[in-house]
Amino acid sequence: MAVYTDISDDELNALLSDYDVGEALSFKGIAEGVENSNFLLETTAGRFILTVYEKRVRTEDLPFFMAVMETLAAQGVMAPRPVRTRTGAPTAFVRGKACALICFLTGVSPKRPNPAHCRAVGAALAHMHLALRGSGLTRPNSLSLQDWEGLVRPRLGEAEALQPGLSARLQADLTALEAAWPDGLPQGVIHADLFPDNVLFLGPKLSGLIDFYFACTDALAYDLAVCINAWCFEPDRSFNLTKGQNLIAGYNAVRPLTGRERDALPILARGAAMRFFATRLADWTTSPQGALVKPKNPLDYADRLAFHARATGPGDYGG
């Protein structure tokens, strides 16, 4: 279970006294998530998610993340709305750690996304980008091109141990990304981590986008490239062109890509694969034995990198 901070009944009641959400009826840890402690809380006023921030999330970034969710909810995008304290603060503290109370969204994350899921996600991503346009919110991407090399190069030996020949491929990927990374693409606030476990569905209908704790300012098309990696590869690591076509078509139906954005999809998708390979490799090599959450295998993204290196144009992704 991804719960790193235990909260006693007395601590919970003291925390809830800062909010106007009634009295606790039930409170239990949630087994999803790897970065933070998450709890499902039911009170006399409704259901909420309590998140205690543990690892990569910096306290100084929390106002940005809360503002992103508040802006989206106000614009009618299906994002969770943070609950402010009685004094109007978007966050609080429990056991000396920052935390937030978020309104609960109903739905289930798809275990095996299908093309219809992909089309719905593409449309929702574009709606999110448009809703945040002009918000004035900004935060640098702390896991972008300049950061990947620092995560990967010191760990090339570990990568080679995972798969012989991988270190040379990674060095070639890093060189290619640095040489070809596009600039001047339309920018805005992006989710940057919209994997299937961060999207909720009720039957065929998308009911929520969650977990905005990597949100930042970057190229909008890079966010789509993250989704290409997250939604369009099969368990055997092969690319599903039909899913790619539906994802991109869903996005284009709401916010059409520019010609430069479309042409940049192969290098953006390669960069997105490098970003997730880099953080997975770092977690793989630093997670202590017996950790509560098993680190994800970086080789899933090594195979994606190989696919993107072979891509010749946006048509390889269904664009």
Same domain, 171 and 67: no
Q: Given pLDDT bands bounded at 50, 70 and 90, which one contains residue 6? A: confident
Q: How confident is the model at residue 141 (pLDDT cuts 50, 70, 90)?
A: very high
Q: Is residue 1 part of a domain?
A: no
Residues 50 and 70 in one domain: yes
Domain assignment present for 108: no
- pTM score: 0.93
Do 211 and 64 have their domain in common?
no
Q: Residue 291: is its pLDDT beyond 50?
A: no
List Cα–Cα distances, 267 to 16, 157, 227, in angstroms: 47, 25, 14
> Does the residue 63 lie in any domain?
yes
Same domain? For 266 and 124 the reply is yes
Shared domain for 81 and 148, answered yes or no, is: no
Nearest to residue 139, comparing CAs of 103, 77, 190? 190
Total number of domains in the chain:
2
Q: What pLDDT sits at residue 232?
A: 98
The predicted-structure confidence for 38-95, as pLDDT tens digits, reads as follows 899 999 999 999 999 987 688 899 999 999 999 999 999 999 999 999 999 999 999 8
Say which residues have a Cβ less than 8 Å from residue 120's Cβ, sequence separation at least 6: 201, 204, 205, 206, 250
Asked whether residue 56 is assigned to any structural domain, the reply reads yes
- What mean pLDDT do residues 129-144 have? 96
Residues 198 and 49 in one domain: no
Do both 275 and 175 map to the same domain? Answer: yes
Q: Which percentage of the chain shows pLDDT scores above 90?
A: 87
258, part of any domain: yes
User: Is residue 3 included in any domain, yes or no?
Assistant: no
pLDDT digit string (tens) for 13-28? 999 999 999 999 999 9
* For residue 5, pLDDT beyond 50: yes
Tell whether 4 is covered by a domain: no
The CATH number covering residue 286 comes to: 3.90.1200.10
Instruction: Clarify whether residues 99 and 120 are in a common domain.
Output: no
Give the end of a domain, one of 103, 133, 153.
Answer: 103
Confidence grade of residue 311 (pLDDT, cut at 50, 70, 90)? very high
Q: Is the pLDDT of residue 159 over 70?
A: yes
Last residue of a domain, one of 47, 70, 103: 103
Residue 289 clears pLDDT 70, i.e. is over it = no
Domain that holds residue 92: 9-103
Instruction: Give yes or no: residues 183 and 120 share one domain.
Output: yes
Cα(104)–Cα(50) distance, rounded to whole angstroms? 9
Integer Cα distance of 289 and 90 in angstroms = 35
- The residues that bridge with 202 in the sheet, in sequence order, are 205
Helix axis angle, 115-132 relative to 241-254, nearest 10°?
30
Question: pLDDT at position 237, please?
Answer: 92
Mean pLDDT estimate for the chain: 93
Pick the last residue of a domain from 103, 136, 168: 103
The reply to whether 168 falls in a domain is: yes
* Same domain as 136, residue 60: no
* pLDDT number for residue 32: 63
Q: Is the pLDDT of residue 236 over 50?
A: yes
Render pLDDT for 270-287 as a digit per residue (tens, 0 to 9).
999 999 999 999 888 765
Q: What percent of the chain has pLDDT over 70?
A: 94
Q: What is the CATH number of the domain that holds 70?
A: 3.30.200.20
Query: Is the same domain home to 34 and 155?
Result: no
Residues 127/254, Cβ–Cβ less than 8 Å: yes
Judgement on whether residues 157 and 211 belong to the same structural domain of the protein: yes
Name which of 23, 20, 24 is nearest 87 in CA terms: 20
